[in-house]
A and B are shown apart, each in its own frame.
Chain A
């Protein structure tokens, strides 16, 4: 049974079709990537899965449970977390308080030792008492990850996790994400192939709300339709 499964999901905003008949599935411990140009519907897809947007048609199942009538907090509580394209932490609270907030509603949180270990792994131990808003962007992105980690999610959807980072930080983040894969299943949205290529076992390509390709990175890079419509115009 797959961890995440979407069947014929369509989303309309007024007259605009944001997603059209999306089918996909992701198994546990399989890293899935989703790429596409800006506006192709990637974030909309995450919003549908996490319960923020109601699909016009189609269904999404998580761990065998249909998500149709679930509210976002219930979906998060079931083990499906997401991070945001524009990093989102409680800016006025300290790092420590951010993590405590993440722990307070987790169904099966990490125990105290594991939290300390994860904090050290993400190199945030000495930054816990600063106001989260004063952290650098890279530190905030790591804090965002830490807040999800301590909740022990089954699936973590990352929306453009390297956005805004310098090339040095991107390399560092890719290493972090590679290690993250061992801790929970991840789903990465990006708009460049570079990051996805190093991390994903399989890639879904979206274009104008439709899925045009689904396969291992090697196959995607060689797919003519993908090259014509997308890779040709973007530095991958």
Chain B
């Protein structure tokens, strides 16, 4: 195989993995929230963007080291989620058909954030780039990869592994899965359902924030990323099966590779078309998703 082809192949694979872990992270965050409190969070894209923008502000405007900025931003998501939960989310826990109220609510949040961003960050810059966590480049065979990308990729993969471990082995994870299945029987088994709800909302958003921050560490971005990410995350969640963390992971990786492949041949718009088309097909044929229980 010639060097050029090998580089292309390696580049596609690494981009696929990079995008895949980020997509998976965000999709897992969204599906945790949907599976537990039945809230489809359309604002996930704007949260993703918010995290990236905060990290940018912290590292560029305040000169904080990007790694520290990342941790700060993810940490900041906890009180933010908590406040949101108390103010808006909590009141719907016992309402039937709350998923559609939540959905529209999250669309409202999306519109607010999108508006705020265009009058603040949108005025300051078109493109945003965070200084690298680790400068320099590593060679993977003939392919040079920026170190900050490697670090972001590794961090994201580590986070996914930790999440999996949490859900499978930790007491909270078992409680969450019990609530996913059936909240009444979980309550009967002594699970504090409302505490699980709160934890899930905070955890889910924190994961989305993490995704945003890590993406920003690896790539430059602009404000439209909020909308594209929201569409992608929803497509992944619907196709993988709402509430299915495994589905989010698998479909997320597939999407990552698809995007990497498609960008070689065609514009990102085509990729978006294909995501939306796939989501429509699943919605119409098998709404419970591919990995449904």
Touch A–B, Cβ below 8 Å: no
